[in-house]
Amino acid sequence: MDELRIQEDQLHTEYDSLITRLRLMGVRDVIDAAETLHVRDNQLVDLGWASDIEFKVFEEKREQNRRAKEAMLGAARATLGLEPMAVIADQYWSPTEQKQ
């Protein structure tokens, strides 16, 4: 578990650095969407470390994360003048299996 926490901390530091660079070069809509996604990602990580999380709560936060990711990708594509993105296939977002 200690190794996982170290890796998570390193990923978080890298994520912060990427958002800082995006703030320097990005447009407001993309930056706002990326910051929202960052918050949603952090919420999922925090839930992953919790030992008493309800499955339904995790799935709700996971869906919020999905919407935030789609919003960020959509904002980035719009900024680049690209057509709207294809919806992320459900095979990548199917509900997490609940262990009994």
By CB neighbour count within 10 A (0-12 exposed, 13-18 middle, 19+ buried), where does 21 fall?
Answer: exposed
pTM: 0.76
Q: Average the pLDDT over 35-55 and give the result.
A: 87
- As a whole number, mean pLDDT of residues 53-61 equals 87
44-48's contacts with Cβ under 8 Å and 24+ in sequence apart are: 45/8, 45/12
Among 36-40, 48-52, 54-58, name the one with the lowest average pLDDT: 48-52
pLDDT digits (tens, 9 = 90+) for 9-27: 888 888 889 899 999 998 9
> What angle separates helix 55-79 from helix 28-49, to the nearest 10 degrees?
160
